Structure 1
Amino acid sequence: MNFDDTPQEAAFRAEARKWIDANAPREFEEELSKSSLGRIKLRKHNIVEVAKAWQKRKAEGGWVCLHWPREYGGRGATPVERVIWQQEEGIYFKLTSPFQIGEGMCGPTVMTYGSEADKRRYLPKIASGEEIWCQLFSEPAGGSDVAGLRTRAERDGDHWIINGQKIWTSGAHYSDYGILITRTDPNVPKHKGLTMFYIDMKSPGVEVKPIKQANGMQEFNEVFFTDLRIPDSQRLGAVGDGWNVSLTTLMNERMSIGARLATGLPELFDFCSNLMTDDGLAIDDRATRSKLANWAVKASGLKYTSYRAISALSKGERPGPENSIGKLVAGSMLQDIAMYAMDLQGASGMLTDPETAEAAGQFQAMLMSSPSTRIAGGTDEILRNIIAERVLGLPGDIRVDKDVPFNKIPTRGR
């Protein structure tokens, strides 16, 4: 692998850096620098409105969804140019959080399975941030088993009637549209009776209820569907082929999450460099230095493993399991780092108020949100199965319900 920019890439990086220097919303730089994973919040401004303004400015400059075709609101850039842009955008990338699901998951699904009219209608507005999308997959009874969903869609002429519930839907409370996977045939095995749609989140029959999180945020939601009526033209893919459609979404989800997942190491290193303990600076303690060194090695491994994926993309190849590995390692590492930082803080680790807590409560916020990081986009167990089965070639888990019609799968007792 060659980590140096080619002349063309260097020119692209210089162009990106010049545009960001001239257009970045510097008034939010300090707050964004101090915000941590799990608490990206602005004191005097609505984060979604600020994010929309930044996204619109980027869209006008041609710096959104860089790898998408121009006719759909992108730039037709190479995968490496997309990575260069992300590197140069830096902390302002935090302002893209409301759009990541639309850009990274819903948009690619619409691009693959939507009609040409749908692509030209919806994709440019996803890219510009004018319309925000969410992903309606998880359900209370399904856990990590996406195919165990119970939200049902029943055909009524040229329309579908949808009833059911989704949970842990990020951003549903401010989203305009969403992609929704439903069960349309309970008489076949669970992976075969699914159908994907996209819906208007403001439609009659859609109710969104925010879920209060341990860290004080409300990013996740329950979504209820009561006789939601949508036209068949909002179907993505064939009837009964929803599982294959969902794989496009899930593949892009893991790529989006795994590629830029924070670990908290830079924040911990700075914290230890300034924290005075009873025995002196924390960074001078041998045990602390040993932990930092171990995490630094992991972070370096994550960085260069990610570069392998970038290198493959630059050659037109499909990246391997790097993103599943990256998310699995980074998710647990984030949690371990947050717990260690709180141990170093002692009793003050209970404080969360940014005005009084050490390190502005960054690690408290990280710890509170870290469990969700290890669940979103595939739990640790799911990712381990993927790596074991699809990379190492180990035998798959026993799945006794794989070929059983969904309505014959026992739901209570054994």
Structure 2
Amino acid sequence: MGLTRSSEDAFPEERAFREEVRTWLADNLTGEFAALRGLGGSGREHEAYDERIGWNRHLATHGWTCLGWPTEYGGRGLSLLQQVVFHEEYARADAPARVNHLGEELLGPTLIALGSEAQKARFLPRIVDVTELWCQGYSEPEAGSDLSNVRTRARRDGEEWVIDGQKIWTSLAHHADWCFAVVRTEPGSRRHAGLSYLLVPLDQPGVEIRPIQQLTGTSEFNEVFFSGARTRADLVVGEPGDGWRVAMATLGFERGVSTIGQQVGFARELAVIVAEARANGSFDDPLIADRIARAKLGLEVLRTHALRTLSGDPGPGAGPVQKLLWARWHRDLGELAMGVRGAAGLTVGPPYDLDDAQTLYLFSRADTLYGGSDEVQRTILAERVLGLPKEPRP
């Protein structure tokens, strides 16, 4: 059975769980946590960061992290539908953006699927209880969305790997304790061959993290430089040289059930824009009204596609299609926000203090780049799904 209708309407047996989530969030987003409502998220990761760590650890204490993980690894083993319900209600409660997404949604499932038992025992409990935070070391200056061009290298030195190179656009590296990084471990190898997936501690000599100041005035992204940095030899996930397969598995988890909560957040952003359009009269402009209607329709398409993708075998190309859909929709939403605002949206400060609509517009320009650029997603669909000739490569 597909999850294409509202889970509350189509699956009445899940209403009790939905009510449990709603009640817990209402009872716990109080006191010191009440002020965190709505904080964090893309372009706003700097907001109340330490306080949101406290909230995330509170979630962990009460069993609300790693919901879909098997119970033997510290998760709750919840069904797909229950996970959808949680993410929907979490977003509807305007609960703060979580700080542990990269560990919980990406690395953790990768280790469960492909990691050694020693790696699982070492790292999974600290992801569950939010005591170690992770970042993703994929993109490089010469290998943005084309991961096969990775140049960062690692060589064996006894019982350790020694790493030299640079990663860029590394989300939240300045807050992370560890990095899961794709590096080239076989000299002379090219493209997909010779890559390995290493787990690297960041608090050590030989690692320098430089935040990148963005148009939003914040620094969610970072450059990470490795100069003789080290990690243990057994902290390679899978076998040495098998990094491409492991990295692709991680990217598959990236487009998982948490995207449902993301779409609830998108709906809230759209509702704010519609309310402003009605208040300032721009809703009466047929062009603005048409763009709003298209945004509402597009959001329904996003949800339907995501639920179909999650509820069964989505077939080839579902991941790239999903990324193309939401990234372009969200970018267009930022442009709609500026269209509704008009000329007033073009001014700020001093000081340089963006409002939510301006932050949405500026940060959403990056949506079509991070997580795999639109161009790369289209190439994947063309070559691997449609069977078109491959692009010439140098």
- TM-score for both structures, normalised by structure 2: 0.89
Q: Pick from 360, 364, 385: which aligns with 1:366?
A: 360
- Structure 1 residues 93 and 196: CA distance shift in structure 2, 3 A: farther
CA RMSD in angstroms comes to 2.7
How far has the Cα of 1:106 moved from its partner? 1.4
Q: Are 2:386 and 1:386 aligned?
A: no
State the one-letter code of the partner of 1:386: I
Structure whose alpha-carbon radius of gyration is higher: 1
Which deviations, in whole Å up to 9, do the C-alpha atoms of 1:116-167 show, x marking residues without a partner?
1221221121122211111111101112211101111111122221111110
SS of residue in 1 equivalent to 2:388: coil
Which deviations, in whole Å up to 9, do the C-alpha atoms of 1:149-206 show, x marking residues without a partner?
1111111122221111110100110101111111111323321111111011102211
CA distance in 2, matches of 1:273, 1:33: 23
2:333 — aligned with what? Answer: 337
Q: Is the 8 A contact 1:106 1:134 kept in 2?
A: no
- Structure 1 residues 13 and 149: CA distance shift in structure 2, 3 A: same
CA distance in 2, matches of 1:93, 1:73: 26
1:376 — aligned with what? Answer: 370
2:347 — aligned with what? Answer: 351
How far has the Cα of 1:25 moved from its partner? 4.1
1:271 — aligned with what? Answer: 276
CA distance in 2, matches of 1:328, 1:32: 29
How far has the Cα of 1:52 moved from its partner? 1.6
CA distance in 1, matches of 2:157, 2:54: 41
State the one-letter code of the partner of 2:128: A
Alignment of 1:137-286 (within 5 A): 137-255=138-256, 259=260, 260=262, 263=266, 264-275=269-280, 281-286=281-286
State the one-letter code of the partner of 2:139: S
Long gaps (5+) in structure 1? 276-280, 402-414
CA distance in 2, matches of 1:354, 1:29: 30
CA distance in 2, matches of 1:113, 1:292: 44
- Structure 1 residues 151 and 330: CA distance shift in structure 2, 3 A: same
Q: Is the 8 A contact 2:152 2:163 kept in 1?
A: yes
SS of residue in 2 equivalent to 1:161: strand
Q: Pick from 28, 51, 54: which aligns with 1:23?
A: 28
Q: Give the share of equivalent positions with the same residue, in percent.
A: 35
- Structure 1 residues 57 and 353: CA distance shift in structure 2, 3 A: farther
How far has the Cα of 1:335 moved from its partner? 2.1
Number of matched pairs = 385
Q: Is the 8 A contact 2:67 2:78 kept in 1?
A: yes
CA distance in 1, matches of 2:110, 2:101: 13
Q: Which moved more, 1:216-225 or 1:103-112?
A: 103-112
4+ runs of 1 displaced by more than 6 Å? 354-357
1:408 — aligned with what? Answer: none
- Structure 1 residues 93 and 222: CA distance shift in structure 2, 3 A: farther
State the one-letter code of the partner of 1:308: R
How far has the Cα of 1:322 moved from its partner? 4.0
CA distance in 2, matches of 1:244, 1:356: 44
Q: Which moved more, 1:145-154 or 1:348-357?
A: 348-357
Q: Is the 8 A contact 1:13 1:85 kept in 2?
A: yes
Alignment of 1:300-311 (within 5 A): 300-311=300-311
- TM-score for both structures, normalised by structure 1: 0.85
